[in-house]
Amino acid sequence: MDSSTLKGGCQGRFRPPGDAHFEGTEGMPADWCLRLIKEAKRIIKSGGEFTAEIPIKP
């Protein structure tokens, strides 16, 4: 799976909760979504907590 598969496969199917805030990916590197997923996996495996701040830089 690459970033185009990820974006094309999920686009328009996910409806976030009413009070959630989501940023777009415009201007980010092509692999940005995959890098975020990798970081989320690392946080989950380590038992860490998610915060509003993105833990990696583009």
* Domain spans, the chain: 26-53
pLDDT at residue 11, rounded to an integer: 56
pTM over 0.75: no
Cα 7–Cα 50–Cα 44 angle in degrees, nearest 5: 80
- Residue 44 C-beta-side C-alpha neighbours within 13 Å: 6
pLDDT at residue 4, rounded to an integer: 53
Q: Look up residue 34 and give its two tokens.
A: 């995959």
**Do the beta carbons of residue 33 and residue 25 sit within 8 Å?**
yes
pLDDT, one tens digit for every residue, the chain (58 residues) = 455 555 555 555 666 677 777 777 888 888 888 998 999 999 999 999 988 888 888 8
Q: Is 21 left (phi over 0), alpha (psi -120 to 50) or beta?
A: beta
